[in-house]
Structure 1
């Protein structure tokens, strides 16, 4: 549903007997935050009068400029179905504003809004359909997460092999109760790994949906005594979790990526968009793959792309064109993982594609070979480069890519890079179990 007014919210809260409202927002590193208010404070909340201390949120503002306001997006109102039915809890996803009413430049939703407006000024609506993967792990006697899965299921297996089938069903039902449309769900390739695909929506609704999805998955898993994780590569030797992003541009109600006269049924705009993604994949990798651990997923042999290539069918390529055409024509970017901040990730992907359109970039020839089986010499002969191999490399590439940094804006760019540099510095000083096993005795 959409188009809610303040009066609609007040009415629904009364009809549903809602007693608490969570005013949710997201920091630049993709962590959901909230300020909870009782129903007695709802009118203040709807009048944008709920404050927060921005200096306590990583990447927001300094202590001497800490006051900020939450402006709820009324169209995001939803009752949380997993909370008690007596004294219900609802949520509103909020934009962050400065005290003078101006949009806060460090608010991830504001970043996405800016790039979406740029697309709209070019006549486009940006639609996104995410495919979300995650692991369900058992917990120990004290409730702490383990990496024990309890099942040995693989692709598309069902119960009793799939021990997470019941939890996955509950997640889907909770999402649909909150107004999100689930297209499909299934067990993934690794033991304990699952995928749920969301129907495409406009970019902001999709990004809000991804944040809602993460909260629902973790909450329902915990309710069932499990731990859900969106960590990209939690288990050595097993495929990691991705967040394939299906993207399309519409203009005047028609899919701008479709052209029935082309051999692949793709329009010139689609080719330009693909070229833009490939041109800036290095630059936005630190956003779409934001963790040290992200780069342990982006290796050959585990169904994750690590080469700058595209294909109309080949799943080993970074960019793939799924088979549906007509209004369903879309471009699938296969590198992102679910630990990313979806607002920033969608913003930089769209900015990259729009740059390809504006400069009328041409992609290289599509790759039909299985990239996972090609060695370094073969890739070099085909002129195929690799994605960054580490978070450090990705941050360097991000700093050098003006399209990406301009899309994020100076505030987010500076805070994001500083945060990721700290993360890398912390990681590189650690002594791992692998190092101890490899070197302690030998040397």
Structure 2
């Protein structure tokens, strides 16, 4: 854990000239402003102010001043810049001028949930599997939908043309202190997967926003575009963000008024039940785009659309893995990388913690694949399904008081308003499919 003095010393040793103060807006976009090293002390003291609209992600007539408060532990020197005028970055919390958390700061939302977990005696570690496509760009540098190769699952060179780019991505990520598990070619042509080893939930969210920034930068060096769009190609696999959760005890057992402390397997069971209880509402955050729901198709047997858990089925929201002598891993399979990871993790973890507080009963597993296209059946007693559209997900979010309280009304109102407008724009637009399907017939 770097201290301010550590930062000062490292900045001198690495001859840092420019500082990027990075932060994430409500919709998950990584932003930054740059200052020179002359302002290092001012930055670390939280005296860099800016306009709140860049955090809100929308422009209105009610902007206010905000303060960017760097987290010293996130200080990194970017590895590809000239060393004589090196560029470093901080990830920042966003605060009001009086020092209190700005209500639009998604990083603070996650920190609050993790504080609640600590008070309950829990530490939560999170690992990630991140999938993305590499596309060729045109003569102007704009992305096309032409994939970089036509390789398949775990193929090698010369079929896997992205191996060199993927290796440079991994090496750069590791140089920046991000522990990589494995990397490989995914099922789709030009599709790749890289895993991040488990870490503290806040740290892993920081790592994901850094990961996307690094992957896009390295891809650009190769004349490619790295896309984290959930479903960029018809008839090809979508790209997921699988979250691997580990619930650990820190300190006393959790009682919640019971005469006997909960046992680890009971805690995990309640945690699973809580996540499932709010999965439909949380989808508006974990799967935030109109396009996200083109990936979550109930007719696809590999898609995690059933609000249930299993040990081996690939069409449930949760997969639970327990190895003998090891802790239980809860894999959340439905999110995609278009999400704001701070808000997505905050909602999922808060739901799980609420399940422990209320001692919700873990439902029985759903261990066989279910092919359901009839919505009335899908919403039956046996199993519920995730929302089919962004509009449906937003309605679920609006009615879920726990999710809204976790986000805070400020973030909820801004997010919901922008996403409703996005959904309405989609409906008003005439799509190529409609022209192909109807133009010559009617």
TM-score over 0.5 for the pair = yes
The match for 1:397 is: 396
Write 1 or 2 for the structure with the bigger share of strand.
2
Relative to 1, partners in 2 of residues 1:419 and 1:381: Cα closer, same or farther, differing over 3 Å?
closer
Offset at 1:323? 4.7
The match for 1:280 is: 278
How far apart, CA to CA, are the structure 1 residues paired with 2:329 and 2:148?
36
1:266-315 Cα distance to aligned partner (Å, 9 max, x none)? 70111111111111001100000000000000013273211112102222
Once the two structures are overlaid, the 10-residue window that deviates more, 210-219 or 304-313, is 304-313
Q: 1:289 aligns with which of 287, 290, 299?
A: 287
Relative to 1, partners in 2 of residues 1:374 and 1:62: Cα closer, same or farther, differing over 3 Å?
closer
Relative to 1, partners in 2 of residues 1:328 and 1:137: Cα closer, same or farther, differing over 3 Å?
farther
SS of the residue corresponding to residue 404 of structure 2 reads: helix
How far apart, CA to CA, are the structure 2 residues paired with 1:238 and 1:309?
25
Kindly report which structure 2 residues correspond to 1:160-175, keeping only aligned pairs within 5 A, or say none: 160-175=158-173
**TM-score, with length taken from structure 1:** 0.93
How far apart, CA to CA, are the structure 1 residues paired with 2:348 and 2:322?
21
Kindly report which structure 2 residues correspond to 1:278-427, keeping only aligned pairs within 5 A, or say none: 278-299=276-297, 300-301=299-300, 303-371=302-370, 373-374=371-372, 376=374, 383-427=382-426
CA contact (8 A) 2:148 2:190 kept: yes
SS of the residue corresponding to residue 104 of structure 1 reads: coil
SS of the residue corresponding to residue 288 of structure 2 reads: coil
Size of the aligned set, in residue pairs, is 432
Q: Does 1:6 align with 2:35?
A: no
Relative to 1, partners in 2 of residues 1:325 and 1:399: Cα closer, same or farther, differing over 3 Å?
farther
Relative to 1, partners in 2 of residues 1:185 and 1:177: Cα closer, same or farther, differing over 3 Å?
same
1:240-283 Cα distance to aligned partner (Å, 9 max, x none)? 00000111211138999xxxxxxxx9701111111111110011
How far apart, CA to CA, are the structure 2 residues paired with 1:284 and 1:183?
27
How far apart, CA to CA, are the structure 2 residues paired with 1:334 and 1:343?
17
How far apart, CA to CA, are the structure 1 residues paired with 2:302 and 2:157?
24
**TM-score, with length taken from structure 2:** 0.94
Kindly report which structure 2 residues correspond to 1:231-270, keeping only aligned pairs within 5 A, or say none: 231-252=229-250, 267-270=265-268
SS of the residue corresponding to residue 392 of structure 2 reads: helix
SS of the residue corresponding to residue 71 of structure 1 reads: strand
How far apart, CA to CA, are the structure 1 residues paired with 2:251 and 2:145?
46
Kindly report which structure 2 residues correspond to 1:81-100, keeping only aligned pairs within 5 A, or say none: 81-100=79-98
How far apart, CA to CA, are the structure 2 residues paired with 1:182 and 1:292?
30
SS of the residue corresponding to residue 267 of structure 1 reads: helix
Offset at 1:212? 0.5
Offset at 1:374? 4.7
In the alignment, structure 2 segments of 5+ residues that lack a partner are: 255-262
SS of the residue corresponding to residue 83 of structure 2 reads: coil
Offset at 1:59? 4.5
In the alignment, structure 1 segments of 5+ residues that lack a partner are: 257-264
SS of the residue corresponding to residue 408 of structure 2 reads: helix
Offset at 1:434? 0.2
